[in-house]
């Protein structure tokens, strides 16, 4: 009896499993890297730690990602910046009011980023940008710029449709972004050690911020589109 028959495996089964593992390896490395970058930060995370957590050698890691910087960039693209095209298409197809769109934007952001491990990337950038300007510049180009443009487009939609009064768009975008950044920073810093009765409820916090924000954005009583008196 052949060894293959004895162990009950088909001749190509072991090869197929190795191929499947090889195909999954980049995703496994990115998953391990995300965990470690969020847990330890960029500076303290070592390539050999990522490799060990993914169950491969350091040399294997560098076959896929030639440096820790490139590994970090791949993590950001996989978890955040690579999704902007999808989000833009989603918002272009949105048929509700712009107020509903803003509510949807913040709720979806929390579900897809804020409530996930990927939210820790923002805290990492805030903490370490000064020491790693190249990483900060990459994040600015890949995440901050398209993110602010997406929010700007949503607010401009509201102005164009006569739902929002005229806004200083350069700064109005931060009215949407700032509450989300604050929530992330609390989640990954003070929120970890705060007593339970002081802990923020993310959904309740965002709902409160939205009410304050939207009441300021809507047309004032007696005011026509464009901020003029009717």
What does residue 218 show for φ and ψ, rounded to 5 degrees?
-70, 155
Please, what is the average pLDDT of the chain? 86
Asked if 55 and 97 sit in the same domain, the reply is no
- H helices of 43-118, in order, are 47-54, 58-64, 68-79, 84-92, 98-109
Of 68, 93, 109, which residue constitutes the final position of a domain?
68
**Contact predicate 64/176, CB 8 Å:** no
Nearest CA to 44 out of 75, 72, 70, 74 is that of: 72
What pLDDT is stored for residue 151 in this prediction?
A: 96
The per-residue pLDDT for 12 is 55
| 45 and 99, same domain (yes or no) | no
pTM score, whole prediction: 0.81
pLDDT band at 138 (very low <50, low <70, confident <90, very high): very high
Q: Is residue 228 part of a domain?
A: no
State whether 64 and 90 are in the same domain: no
Residues 50 and 142 in one domain: no
Q: What is the pLDDT of residues 85-111, one digit of tens each?
A: 999 999 999 999 999 999 999 999 999
Domain boundary among the residues 43, 68, 93 is at 68
Q: Is the model's pLDDT at 227 over the cut of 60?
A: no
Q: Report the CATH number at residue 100.
A: 1.10.357.10
pLDDT at 213: 86
Give CA–CA dist 26/32, Å, rounded.
10
Q: 24 pLDDT band (50/70/90 cuts)?
A: confident
48 falls within a domain: yes
Q: What is the C-alpha separation between 177 and 147, in angstroms, rounded?
A: 9
Check whether 225 has a pLDDT greater than 70: no
**Do residues 218 and 164 lie in contact, with contact meaning Cβ atoms separated by under 8 Å?**
yes
Say whether both 126 and 157 belong to one domain: yes
pLDDT tens for each residue of 193-224: 767 766 788 889 998 998 888 887 766 666 66
pLDDT at 222: 66
55 and 89: one domain? no
- Are 45 and 116 part of one and the same domain? no
Helix (H, G, I), strand (E, B) or coil at 164: strand
Distances (CA, A) of 187 to 15, 29, 38, 123, 125: 44, 25, 12, 9, 15
Which domain does 51 fall in, by range? 12-68
Is 208 part of a structural domain of the chain? yes
As for how many domains the chain has, the answer is: 2
Same domain flag for 86 and 118: yes
Same-domain pairing of 64 and 86: no
Q: How far is CA 36 from the centre of its chain?
A: 16
CATH code of the domain containing 26: 1.10.10.60
Structure confidence by residue, pLDDT tens digits, 40-55: 999 999 999 999 999 9
Q: Which of 16-20, 66-70, 87-91 has the lowest mean pLDDT?
A: 16-20
Both 158 and 211 in one domain: the answer is: yes
107 and 214 share a domain? yes
Task: Tell me: do 202 and 123 sit in the same domain.
Answer: yes
Residue 28 contacts residue 54 (beta carbons within 8 Å): yes
């Amino acid at each position: 009896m052949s060894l293959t028959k004895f162990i009950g495996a088909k001749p190509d089964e072991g090869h197929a499993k190795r191929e499947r593992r090889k195909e999954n390896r980049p995703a496994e490395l990115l998953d391990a890297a995300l965990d470690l970058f969020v847990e330890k930060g960029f500076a303290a995370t070592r390539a050999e730690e990522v490799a060990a957590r993914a169950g491969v050698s350091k040399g294997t890691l560098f076959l896929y990602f030639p440096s820790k910087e490139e590994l970090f960039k791949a993590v950001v693209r996989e978890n955040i910046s690579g999704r902007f095209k999808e989000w833009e298409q989603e918002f272009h197809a949105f048929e509700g009011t712009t107020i509903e769109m803003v509510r949807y934007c913040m709720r979806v952001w929390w579900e897809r980023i804020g409530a996930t491990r990927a939210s820790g990337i923002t805290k990492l950038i805030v903490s370490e940008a000064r020491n790693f300007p190249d990483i900060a510049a990459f994040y600015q180009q890949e995440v901050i710029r398209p993110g602010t443009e997406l929010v700007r487009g949503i607010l401009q939609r509201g102005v164009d449709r006569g739902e929002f009064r005229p806004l200083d768009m350069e700064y109005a975008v931060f009215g949407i972004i700032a509450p989300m950044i604050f929530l992330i920073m609390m989640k990954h810093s003070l929120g970890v050690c705060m007593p339970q009765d002081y802990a923020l409820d993310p959904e309740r916090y965002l709902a409160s911020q939205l009410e304050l924000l939207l009441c300021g954005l809507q047309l004032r009583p007696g005011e026509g589109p464009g901020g003029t008196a009717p």
